[in-house]
Amino acid sequence: MILDRLDNCDRYVTLHPAFAAAFEFLCTATAETLRSARHELDGKRLYVIVDRKDGRTRDGAKLEAHRRYIDIQYVVEGTDEMGWKALAECRDTEKPFDEAADIVFFRERPEAWVRTPPGTFAIFFPEDAHAPLGGSGPLVKLIAKVAMEP
């Protein structure tokens, strides 16, 4: 997991071939960009979801993980709290991994929580179980879904 300000995103573009395009989109997002729910940047290899939801608080946030995608979760409005736990330590799944949706949810709780105010992003790799929406109140986030295999 990585947590940083969008101003520092250039430090991370070498971690994956699609990160440069993902961060370019996040850095140049406009009010019009935020109206649409999904932006295809490179088909299923790279897309961005505009997520407008109320935070569920820490008690309501569910620990989840993905196999095929890296999440870059960028907070535009509101303050989220995102939970984290090493996937290797997660054992109690709610139901089997959903291949089509590339997601599994856990009954377990995160080991750590990070406050993510506007202008901050978190990168969650497949080895990172994470619990987004742990904040409260309205949130606007851009979630870049980056395929592990370019």
pLDDT tens-digit map of 23-61: 999 999 987 778 878 999 999 999 999 999 999 999 999
* pLDDT for res 88: 98
* pLDDT for res 95: 92
Residue whose structure tokens are 């497949």: 126
Domain count, the chain: 1
Q: What is the reported pTM?
A: 0.95
- CA-nearest of 83, 90, 89 to 110 is 83
- Which residues of the chain carry a pLDDT beneath 50? none
Cα 91 off chain centre by: 21
* pLDDT for res 149: 87
* pLDDT for res 34: 83
* pLDDT for res 47: 97
Q: Which domain holds residue 82?
A: 2-147
* pLDDT for res 139: 95
Looking at residue 44, which CATH number applies to its domain?
Answer: 2.60.120.370
* pLDDT for res 54: 97
* pLDDT for res 36: 78
H helix count then E strand count, the chain:
2, 11
